[in-house]
């Protein structure tokens, strides 16, 4: 089993690591894009995976009530620039997450109506966000960069403005049938983690952003009906671009 190593997963991982269910799994941490490739190849059988990769994984199905979502601003997935969006002509796309790349592409084309050059981001691309060049930055790095750019366009907030729906970034996906008893224990472990936000914050100090706000406002972990509607809308939209 695998999950991303960003701060946004820490409450879920806290619950798993402090539950007996941890003895039933081998937990790996990696970038979202790498997890998607591992699921596709079959080298892992369950992951907290970017939702844009679901269609690429044979037998993929959502197996938990919990994931990574937002209902408005998410703070950690944004388009950063030093000029207004109308003056941007090139956008670097963060290599770490396919979902964020697809969301940015979708918003640029259909919400912001921007015809820009989309470029895969090199490792040092943040240093090249200047002038008419913007960049999508995700995860902990996005939280760290919030003081460094004049313009920040939150992608989850833009999605909400466009569709009126929440956005799901990642969900627990399996590529095979898993025992019902294990999935129940796993779900309970996720839920338990969300009851220990203060413990998570104390264990992972982060000076760049208010983590109480991040965990209790920006990130939504329960994949309720509205979140699933947002997910279905996103998967439908990206199937046409």
Q: What is the pLDDT of residue 1?
A: 62
Q: Contact at 8 Å (CB) between 121 and 135? A: yes
Two domains, one topology: 2-69+167-238 and 77-163? yes
Domain ranges of the chain: 2-69+167-238, 77-163
Q: Considering the domain 77-163, what is its CATH architecture?
A: 3-Layer(aba) Sandwich (3.40)
* Predicted structure pTM score: 0.92
Q: What is the pLDDT of residue 22?
A: 85
Looking at domain 2-69+167-238, which of 3.50.50.60, 3.40.190.10, 3.30.565.10, 3.40.50.720 is its CATH number?
Answer: 3.40.190.10
Block means of pLDDT (10 residues each) for the chain, 241 residues, are: 78 93 78 72 82 85 95 97 97 84 95 94 93 96 96 98 97 90 95 97 96 98 97 93 78
């Amino acid at each position: 089993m695998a999950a991303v190593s960003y701060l946004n997963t820490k409450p879920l991982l806290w619950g798993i690591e402090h539950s007996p269910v941890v003895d039933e799994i081998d937990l790996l941490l990696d970038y979202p894009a790498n997890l998607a490739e591992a699921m596709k190849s079959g080298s892992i059988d369950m992951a907290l995976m970017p939702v844009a990769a679901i269609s690429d994984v044979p037998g993929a199905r959502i197996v938990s009530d919990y994931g990574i979502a937002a209902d408005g601003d998410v703070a950690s997935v944004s388009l950063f620039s030093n000029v207004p969006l109308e003056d941007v002509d090139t956008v670097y796309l963060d290599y770490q997450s396919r979902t964020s790349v697809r969301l940015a592409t979708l918003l640029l084309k259909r919400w912001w109506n921007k015809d820009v050059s989309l470029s895969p981001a090199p490792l040092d691309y943040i240093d090249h966000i200047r002038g008419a060049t913007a960049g999508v930055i995700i995860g902990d790095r996005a939280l760290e960069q919030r003081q460094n750019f004049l313009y920040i366009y939150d992608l989850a907030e833009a999605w909400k403005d466009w569709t009126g729906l929440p956005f799901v970034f990642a969900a627990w996906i399996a590529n095979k049938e898993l025992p019902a008893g294990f999935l129940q224990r796993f779900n309970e472990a996720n839920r338990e983690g969300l009851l220990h936000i203060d413990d998570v914050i104390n264990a992972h100090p982060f000076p760049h952003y208010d983590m109480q706000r991040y965990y209790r406002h920006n990130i939504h972990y329960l994949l309720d009906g509205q979140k699933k509607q947002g997910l279905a809308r996103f998967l439908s939209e990206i199937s046409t671009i």
